[in-house]
Amino acid sequence: MVQHVVVIGAGIVGAACAIELLRDGHRVTILEPGEPGGEQAASYGNGTLLNPSSVIPMSSPGIWRKVPGWLADPLGPLAIRWRYLPRLLPWLTRFLNAGATEAKVAATARALRPLLLEAPERHRRLADEAGVGHLITRQGVLFVFLDRADFESEGMAWRIRRETGVQWLELSADELRQREPSLDRRYTFGVLVEENGQCHDPGAYVAALVRHAQSLGADVRQAKAVGFRIEDRRLRAVLTASDGEIAADKAVIAAGAWSKQLAAAAGDRVPLETERGYHAVIADPGIAPRYPVMPSDGKMGCVMTPQGLRLAGQVELAGLDAAPNWRRAVVLRDFARSVYPGLPHDLAAEQVKFWMGHRPSIADGLPCIGPASRSPDIVHAFGHGHVGLTAGATTARLVAELISGRPPTIEPAPYSAQRF
């Protein structure tokens, strides 16, 4: 049955949902207050990686011991702003608990893997349809370490990855040098995960998906959703800030880090926070790395994009409204010099662009996908944290299956918003 579905948010999740819903024959309206794929969205400035191997959540056993350091060092790879701590505490407690044992981390990894598994192929198909297939590649991703002992210090994470089916090639110092000559010599051990891929320009990709959705009949409205009109558990309309009510049979909440209030309006209180992240892009870097690189001592992704070398990473727990701390992006830029000695020493200010964005992160490391408590006509599709670009394509397929009443490709139970 053809239904009118209102998709709230045009980041990667909303854009991909719109296409999958149109494919199933539904009428689609997309609500987005900013530009689809624009700088406001996490989907614009992320690390560009499509990594089925990214199954390990941020929280791990013993991580609570690091909390004082996160509060003390505003420029460390993970930082908490003091002023935000009281509001953060309930989420932080759940977050620390979610990774308290190896068994918990392994359970999260097993639940995440199906959402990530076929990501590069699924994105390639979506991108091909939208005429931007060249943006998606599957060349593998290099994880580089100071030595084998450095790699083994992350033993639990790699053990769990292997248990979920991730395979890799181990590279000696010589092999690493041959694969990636631009790397600094201090890295003497590498792991190449060949199943991983890259979306070279995620902002352009999302914009192209939304244009494609429009060409298939979607109505794109520059509007912000603020709630729902629900009668007898049936959705009647999505309420907007500027355009009044939009009559709807179904709605998808895909507003990324801004989804919490909409989820509450749909009857679900979810522990959603923003893990703010940063990037620095160096235009004309004078080097041409062959692989995306994850340096063990940098906690960041180093990737080539059409705009230049992008260094993406950092986690800052400071809420949706605090001003960016651009010194964090400077840290990323400066660390890049120690990864790639061939980078110019005196970069002109106009050669470097900084960005800050909001990862939508649920405390237990899994997204919310599935029907809402107040009405099954409203479907949650948010909270993908560090892996939303990768997981966006399979999330969209699952959302379309739930709305169209078809058997789901993957088991949706682990992502239920009612699990809290």
Ligand X SMILES: Cc1cc2nc3c(=O)[nH]c(=O)nc-3n(C[C@H](O)[C@H](O)[C@H](O)COP(=O)(O)OP(=O)(O)OC[C@H]3O[C@@H](n4cnc5c(N)ncnc54)[C@H](O)[C@@H]3O)c2cc1C
Rg (CA), the chain: 21
Secondary element (H or E) of residue 145: strand 141-145
161 Cβ contact list (under 8 Å, min separation 6): 53, 55, 56, 109
Dihedral sign computed on CA atoms, order 63, 68, 73, 78: positive
Q: Contacting ligand X (CB under 6 A), which of 256, 295, 298, 414?
A: 256
The candidate with the shortest Cα–Cα distance to 36, out of 356, 362, 255, is 255
Q: Where are the alpha helices (DSSP H) in 372-413?
A: 388-404
Does the footprint of ligand X cover residue 180 (CB under 6 A)?
Answer: no
Rounded to whole angstroms, the Cα distance separating 107 from 110 reads 5
Q: Contacting ligand X (CB under 6 A), which of 104, 123, 386, 397?
A: 386
Q: Give, as ranges, the residues between 329 and 368 that touch ligand X (CB under 6 A).
A: 357-360
Q: Give, as ranges, the residues between 13 and 42 that touch ligand X (CB under 6 A).
A: 13-14, 31-34, 40-42
309 Cβ contact list (under 8 Å, min separation 6): 281, 282, 285, 287, 289, 302, 303, 336, 340, 343
- What is the nearest approach in angstroms of ligand X to the Cβ of residue 346? 26
Nearer Cβ to ligand X (188/261): 261
* Residue position matching structure tokens 């405390």: 363
What's the CA dihedral at 364, 119, 301, 188 to 10 degrees? 110
The angle formed by the CA atoms of residues 320, 303 and 319, to the nearest 5 degrees, is 10
What's the CA dihedral at 189, 194, 200, 203 to 10 degrees? -110
Site string for ligand X, 105-144 (x = CB under 6 A): ----------------------------------------
- CA 409 vs. chain centroid, Å, equals 21
Q: Give, as ranges, the residues between 182 and 241 that touch ligand X (CB under 6 A).
A: 224-225
- What is the nearest approach in angstroms of ligand X to the Cβ of residue 8? 5
Nearer Cβ to ligand X (281/387): 387
Does the footprint of ligand X cover residue 49 (CB under 6 A)?
Answer: yes
Q: Contacting ligand X (CB under 6 A), which of 387, 399, 402, 403?
A: 387
Q: Contacting ligand X (CB under 6 A), which of 279, 310, 333, 397?
A: 279
- What is the nearest approach in angstroms of ligand X to the Cβ of residue 37? 8
Rounded to whole angstroms, the Cα distance separating 300 from 286 reads 20
- What is the nearest approach in angstroms of ligand X to the Cβ of residue 173? 26
Q: Identify which range of 143-151, 154-162, 325-333, 380-388 contacts ligand X by CB under 6 A.
A: 380-388
Rounded to whole angstroms, the Cα distance separating 263 from 368 reads 10
Query: Residue 335 has which token pair?
Result: 């660390």
- What is the nearest approach in angstroms of ligand X to the Cβ of residue 44? 7
- What is the nearest approach in angstroms of ligand X to the Cβ of residue 311? 9
Q: Contacting ligand X (CB under 6 A), which of 10, 126, 329, 363?
A: 10
Nearer Cβ to ligand X (160/300): 300
Q: Give, as ranges, the residues between 280 and 309 that touch ligand X (CB under 6 A).
A: 301
- What is the nearest approach in angstroms of ligand X to the Cβ of residue 12? 5
Q: Identify which range of 82-90, 98-106, 171-179, 254-262 contacts ligand X by CB under 6 A.
A: 254-262
DSSP symbols for 156-222: HHHHHHHHTT---EEE-HHHHHHH-TTS-TT--EEEEETT-EEES-HHHHHHHHHHHHHHTT-EEE-
Count residues near ligand X (CB under 6 A): 44
Does the footprint of ligand X cover residue 312 (CB under 6 A)?
Answer: yes
Q: Identify which range of 158-166, 174-182, 385-393, 406-414 contacts ligand X by CB under 6 A.
A: 385-393
Q: Contacting ligand X (CB under 6 A), which of 11, 76, 140, 285?
A: 11
Binding site for ligand X (CB under 6 A): 8-14, 31-34, 40-43, 46-49, 224-225, 254-258, 277-279, 301, 312-313, 357-360, 382, 384-390
